[in-house]
Amino acid sequence: MNTLSAWLYRLSSAYTIVGSIALYAAFITWVMIPESELVQTYAGDWGSPDGHLFYTPDEFYTQIATWGDAGRAHYVDFRLGLDPLWALVYTGFLVAVTSVALRRACAADDPRRLLNLAALIPMLADLTENALGITLISAFPTRLDPLARTTAAVSALKWITLILAHAIMLYAMALRCRGWWSGEK
């Protein structure tokens, strides 16, 4: 873990923060907003399962039954195409900001420096959620309720850890600001 953390510190700089913010904004504007609008055409207000903190297998199967073959195919295509890139984009942003803030706020041997790894958990959960969702959608109309429950749990894990990763980023920024206010460089 120390090696991975150190590698992320080497990658993180003011330039990677600016680049990640630009990618984040571009991805939201040109990919995620249009994708959300497209999903609404076949999934209605419920949207895709990835957008929910939790859902039951019955909710999942009731919803995807209304999507039609084209909607289900689109879900799979997006999860195999641009959605994994989105996970990398938001993870890059969280890691860069957190790493730069912690590098400047904590000594090299401070265990809090490992907090720059926190954003990797929601990314891994997101990618796992995609793989499980693809499996469920591809198997439809066959119901795989145990896998649907697992997928819902992974979705919850993704959202909870994503919130925590943002909180850790804010904590790192607060530590850095406290250093500025106390006169540290």
User: What's the token pair of residue 101?
Assistant: 């803030």
pLDDT, tens digit (0-9, with 9 covering 90-100), for 15-25: 999 999 999 99
For the segment 42-99, what is each residue's pLDDT rounded down to a tens digit?
A: 999 999 999 999 999 999 999 999 999 999 999 999 999 999 999 999 999 999 999 9
Q: Which two tokens stand for residue 43?
A: 């999934």
Question: Residue 183: what pLDDT?
Answer: 64
Q: What is the pLDDT of residue 178?
A: 82
Using an 8 Å Cβ cutoff, are 17 and 97 in contact? Answer: yes
d(CA 151, CA 136): 9
Residue 142 Rama label (left phi>0; alpha psi -120 to 50; beta): beta
Sign of CA dihedral 55, 61, 64, 69: positive
Could you tell me the end-to-end alpha-carbon distance of the chain, in angstroms, rounded to an integer?
28
Q: What is the DSSP string of 125-145?
A: HHHHHHHHHHHHHHHTTS--H
Residues sharing a CB contact under 8 Å with residue 22, sequence separation 6 or more, in sequence order: none
CA distance 148 to 5: 33
Token code pair at residue 81: 């195409």
